[in-house]
Amino acid sequence: MLSKLISFIPRDWLVYLYKNMPFNGLKNWIVYRAQHKFLVAVLGVITNEKGQVLLFKHEYRKQPWGIPGGWMELEKPEDGLEREINEETGLKVQITGLARALYGDRPNRVELIFTGRITDGTFKPSSEISEIYYCDIDKWPDGLPIKQRILIKEILIGDSGKLEEGANIL
């Protein structure tokens, strides 16, 4: 609501008000309330010592197989992905880098896709993840979305598929 009202104020006026408003707490509250919101998803193309890709069988998806991921809490993105994987499976991973950042809609979100490797742990099924599978590229299980297949190949071997802008990976 506040963001719609503020959109009618000329940008130069908003900059002037921001620069000259004396109360930082109030200023930050207004800025926060005036901005559009979105979620941040953290996902991982995680490999084992053989270079095989870790996939999860999600209990709540129509296409059940997929790369590990979840929603970030108030934490560093890398910590969020490590936490999600550990909570859902008991596995420990080390994040090695940020591979890609994408925008998705339904819901509006930023998807941060990391690379990483398994470091420790034994798989324990959870209410969200019933199985894990380590697969070689192009030996995908049935039920792995095409967009995730393309993403994995692009990240691991540089194969540029047809991952279009706004592709919902999660």
Domain boundaries, given as residue ranges, for the chain: 2-34, 39-157
In the three-class reduction of DSSP (H, G, I as helix; E, B as strand; rest coil), residue 154 is classed as: helix
127 in Cβ contact with 139 (< 8 Å): no
In the three-class reduction of DSSP (H, G, I as helix; E, B as strand; rest coil), residue 86 is classed as: helix
In the three-class reduction of DSSP (H, G, I as helix; E, B as strand; rest coil), residue 147 is classed as: helix
> What pLDDT, in 10s, does the model give residues 64-107?
999 999 999 999 999 999 999 999 999 999 999 999 999 988 78
- The span from the CA of 100 to the CA of 121, in Å, is 26
Encode 86-98: b = buried (16+ Cβ within 10 Å), e = exposed: eebbbbebebeee
pLDDT cut 90: percent of the chain above it? 62
The band of 14, judged by pLDDT with boundaries at 50, 70 and 90, is confident
Domain boundaries 39-157, corresponding CATH code:
3.90.79.10
**pTM for this prediction:** 0.78
User: 104: which strand partners?
Assistant: 109
